[in-house]
Amino acid sequence: MSESAANLSDILARIDAARKKAVAPAPSTTLIAVTKTHDADAIRPVLDAGHRVFGENRVQEAMGKWPGLRAAYRDIELHLIGPLQSNKTREAVETFDAIHSLDRPKLAHALKAELEKQPKPMTMFIQVNTGEEPQKAGVAPHEAAAFVALCRDELHLPVKGLMCIPPNNENPAPHFALLQKLARENTLPLLSMGMSGDFESAIKFGATHVRVGSAIFGERSVDAG
């Protein structure tokens, strides 16, 4: 077995164990295997092991490797977990099945227009800047309700959940708890939270999607942000 396939099976077992230990886990927790910076050859062993849900943080990079992999493997589900420019919505809707980085009205309107041009089933998450870090994407927690109302109720975008990236070097638990609270208040069923270092904690707070990269594919040589 390749190292990444072995890591995959280890992470799936840890997800299972964390769900069993959790008092109130989500009905299911999907592992998004994050493949940014890794090429098709590095991804294939994980596909061969049967995994089908993947995440990329850049539209352009995903366009380079996933059409070929989609042609070779059925039922791939690809999630955009990084920032999206409103002039890249056509490519994003073409390339991805889910978008986790919806975070501003201009982007919401652009996605609405694009989905009218090329209708397809998609899942969207609103990114919340739970740490209110100035350099980080996402709506502030106090703006979340109004932005959910705009995206879901006014524009009828397929918004099903919230996503967060807690500040580095901080206990992520309060951020996961806050995201869970905001999702409940806004009756959103999905929670995208938890990465290689903290997915077990996120599962405690009801994560439905964990985004794990380096624990499966190894450390990235370039920091892809």
Ligand X SMILES: *Cc1c(COP(=O)(O)O)cnc(C)c1O
Residue 23's Cβ-count burial label (10 Å; 0-12, 13-18, 19+) is exposed
Inter-residue contact 131 to 171 (CB < 8 Å):
no
- Which member of 4, 35, 57, 95 binds ligand X (CB under 6 A)? 57
Q: Does 82 bind ligand X (CB under 6 A)?
A: yes
Reported as type and span, the H/E element at residue 9 is helix 3-21
Q: Does 196 bind ligand X (CB under 6 A)?
A: yes
Cα–Cα distance, 13 to 201 (Å, whole number): 15
Least separation in angstroms between CB 127 and ligand X: 9
The residues in 128-187 that bind ligand X, with binding defined as CB under 6 A, are: 165
Least separation in angstroms between CB 168 and ligand X: 10
- Which member of 8, 18, 26, 34 binds ligand X (CB under 6 A)? 34
Inter-residue contact 77 to 47 (CB < 8 Å):
no
Closest to ligand X by CB, 22 vs 215, is: 215
Inter-residue contact 196 to 19 (CB < 8 Å):
no
- Which member of 36, 58, 88, 152 binds ligand X (CB under 6 A)? 36
DSSP state string for 22-37: -SS--S--EEEEE-TT
Least separation in angstroms between CB 55 and ligand X: 7
Least separation in angstroms between CB 223 and ligand X: 9
Closest to ligand X by CB, 23 vs 97, is: 97
Q: Does 206 bind ligand X (CB under 6 A)?
A: no
Least separation in angstroms between CB 54 and ligand X: 11
Residue 47's alpha-carbon distances to 11, 57, 123, 169, in angstroms, are 15, 19, 22, 32
Long-range contacts for 7-10 (Cβ within 8 Å, ≥24 apart)? Answer: 7/215, 7/216, 7/217, 8/33, 8/46, 8/49, 8/51, 8/216, 9/49
Closest to ligand X by CB, 31 vs 188, is: 31
Reported as type and span, the H/E element at residue 159 is strand 159-163
Least separation in angstroms between CB 191 and ligand X: 13
Inter-residue contact 21 to 1 (CB < 8 Å):
no
Range in contact with ligand X (rule: CB under 6 A) among 43-51, 60-68, 84-92, 206-214: 206-214
Name the residue whose CB lies closest to ligand X.
213
Range in contact with ligand X (rule: CB under 6 A) among 1-9, 38-46, 117-125, 209-217: 209-217
Where on the chain is the footprint of ligand X (CB under 6 A)?
34, 36, 57, 81-82, 165, 195-196, 211-215
